[in-house]
Amino acid sequence: MTSELPRLLVAGPIAALLLGIAAPAGAAPAGTLPAVTPEQRAVEPVEPAVVMVRSDWTVLVTGYVRGRTRSTLVRFDTACSGTVVSGTGHIVTAAHCLTAKDHRNAAIAGAVGDLVDRGVIRSSRRDAVYQDAITGTDRWKVTDPYSSAAPEPDVRVQLGGGPAGDASVSVDARTLDTLSWRQGDVGLLKVERGGLPVASLTGHDAVWAGQPVVTTGYTGGAEGAVSGRISAPAGTGTSGPGRLFYRTSAPVTPELSGGPVVDLAGRVVGIASRRPADKTGFIVPVETVSGLLAWHNVSNRPGPIDTAYAHGLDAFHRGYYTDAVKDFDRVLAAMPAHHPAAEKRRQAVEYRSRYGDPSILSGPYRTRVLLAAGAVLLALLVAVVLVLRRRAAQDPGTPEPPAAEPVRSRPVPAGPRPARMDEPTETIPAQDDDRTAFIPALRDAFARWQQDDRPRSWSGPGDTRATAPILPRCRWCGRTHPPGATYCPSCGRHLTDHYPSDRQSDGAAPSATHGPPA
């Protein structure tokens, strides 16, 4: 069994690892997850940065009606989309949303309607008067009520990416700069609000002819977005005056003007624009927008709120709803009016209760987890094998008992025997020949040394003439022997044996009567 243990330790982890890799990614959810289209996935990252730009106009319309000049004060409002490009409150939109020239027709339509209501113009002539007013530019004029300058609107921006009409997140904005239609149709606004979601702008390299794109605005996120393809990139001569636009097959409504245009990866490739006379869709390239931002020293950098929201979206679409809820909570803590994060959090809580979170062995980290577990098991296996081998080397097994040494009897030396005559003859292990021959010589040397009873001295620190130490005596014969000797050089008896029972118990030397002869 011991020899089979390493094999079992090897086969166990490998089988577990193979079964984990071959196992399915996780338990199937209780229901089918809602389908998400590529267009929805593309719009979601930029949805928080989409705002509604509302322009409130007060203009004076002057025209020649029924033989006289009449002036009418007209109030109207327009709405476009905008895109937040910096966390400090900079927003880009279509310039035609902010210039009175592009809203001249709306102002004249309002003035004609007012004249009809006052009875100055018969209702049957409404369309004829309107057509005459918009074509005769020298006869009908739209100006500021208090000066002859071009009127400017009062601009308010609705933040948070929520539904239109939420006044709780509506703030005033001021116009910093505009580029006319022939210059690129871009307007730059500024609101006094920080920590806003930001849409990241890409470069020209991400755009090509035939590329699918999605145009979105404040009208409702992915539901209000329109899909199309770029039919003519900038520089081909077919994309607007000055070749400053991309042409797109998707129609652009007034509400979508100024909103972001993204590819299917969610990258902003431009700003939506349209020809004032029709709904032909154009895209202002990112390079035009970036040039205007650079002129005003505006940096387009996403902030922590954008990073947390992106992580939440990624976890949400992978089915990790608990992680998504945590990320969306961080977003809402920084910006409570973040409507897309609040909506996604609600969906994440609902889906988590319905489908649950996947196990650790599912999703993109499944292979990594299994490989890491296999590496740990193999490391433990190697450690166990090494320990077993080391123990086997240190413990070679039960050794065989050594062969018994032959024993020989040694007769008791001549002379009077001890008091106990029935004492068995002592046996000692056989000794080598050289040790046996050395005993008589050692006995003779001690006999000669013992006859000299004069004190002996040696050199030592502090005492140059000291007596020699007293040597121990044999328990049996009473003669002295060298310190540490095993056998007495005089009688040959073992020095560590005990006295017979009739000897003195105080350790005194035996008497001459009982001891062996000198």
pLDDT in tens, 365-394: 567 667 787 888 888 888 888 888 887 777
- Cα-based distances in Å from 195 to 110, 302, 303, 310, 474: 39, 10, 8, 16, 105
| Closest listed residue to residue 428, CA positions, set 443, 413, 406 | 406
Q: State residue 81's pLDDT score.
A: 92
SS (H, E, C) 26-56: CCCCCCCCCCCCHHHHHHCCCHHHEEEEEEE
Please tell me the predicted confidence (pLDDT) of residue 506.
Answer: 43
User: Can you tell me the distance from the alpha carbon of 458 to that of 23, in angstroms, rounded to the nearest whole number?
Assistant: 91
What per-residue confidence (pLDDT) applies to 323? 94
Closest CA to 490 of 432, 433, 434, 451: 451
| pLDDT tens sequence across 293-340 | 999 999 998 899 999 999 999 999 988 999 999 999 999 999 998 989
CA dihedral sign of residues 181, 87, 260, 200: positive
pLDDT of residue 226: 83
DSSP string, 118-129: TTSS-GGGHHHH
Residues 6+ apart with CB under 8 A from 183: 242, 244
**Model pLDDT, residue 406:** 57
**For position 342, what pLDDT does the model report?**
93
Alpha helices by DSSP H, 193-320: 286-295, 304-318
CB 206 within 8 A of CB 263: yes
Question: Which pLDDT belongs to residue 278?
Answer: 65
pLDDT at 292: 92
- Top-tier CATH class for 46-295: mainly beta
Q: What is the pLDDT of residue 407?
A: 52
Average pLDDT by stretches of 10, the chain with 518 residues: 51 53 44 75 91 91 83 89 93 90 84 87 86 75 84 88 66 92 89 90 74 84 74 54 72 87 88 76 88 92 92 92 94 91 93 81 61 82 83 65 56 53 50 58 71 52 54 81 80 69 44 44
The pLDDT score that the predictor gives to residue 84 is 94
pLDDT value at position 312?
95
Give domain limits for the chain. 5-22+365-393, 46-295, 305-355, 415-518
Give the whole-angstrom CA distance, residue 428 versus residue 420: 20
For the entire predicted model, the pTM comes to 0.63
CA 245 to CA 381: how far, in whole Å? Answer: 66
